[in-house]
Amino acid sequence: MATGKSAVGRNLARKLHRRFVDLDALIEKAEGRKVREIFAEKGESYFRRLEKQTLEEILSQQDQIIATGGGIILDDDNLTLLRQKSLLIGLTASADVLVGRVGRNSKRPLLKGADMRARIEELLQQRQSRYAQADVTVDTSGLTINQVVEKILNVIRSET
């Protein structure tokens, strides 16, 4: 959440001449409503089923950069699929940075009605072992989008 997945993904796809896919945007388009509305009207478990189905469909295609929501890796099947079929890059940032990026008036469903900083710290803690399974992790704190993209490109170049 607020690590720059969409912005970095979009720029990385452009540099690599690949298609950019934002999983949440695909779900929103298919459902005709925003993720926060899906959470509010149908609940998180419904959203996670949609997310899983959409991920499976997208991973059957090639030559793309995919931005997923940060919670996608909580599902074992999703994490396994991502690790098998892609170079899994995790973007992280400190809780202070994330609070600043999210802002006070966040419409993010997992932060609704909560002490934002405490909730962000809780989510980071809950997901830490999952995020650690990424092939590559880039801390985006204090970096521009272009700097993050360059770090990822350097990793990709070193692997080829």
Which fold, 5-152? Rossmann fold (3.40.50)
Q: Indicate the domain borders of the chain.
A: 5-152
Residues (pLDDT < 50) of the chain are none
3-state secondary structure of 20: strand
Say what the pLDDT of residue 110 is. 67
Contact 18, 152 (CB under 8 A): no
Say what the pLDDT of residue 155 is. 92
Single pTM value for the model:
0.86
Residues 101-146: tens digit of each pLDDT: 887 656 666 676 667 788 888 888 988 999 999 999 999 999 999 9
Q: Which residues of 105-125 are buried (b: 16+ CB within 10 A; e: fewer)?
A: ebebbbbeeeebeebbbebbe
- Cα gap 40→23, rounded to integer Å: 19
Say what the pLDDT of residue 105 is. 55
Say what the pLDDT of residue 159 is. 79
Helix (H) / strand (E) element for 14: namely helix 5-16
Say what the pLDDT of residue 104 is. 61
- Residue 76 burial by CB count (10 A; 0-12/13-18/19+): exposed, middle or buried? exposed
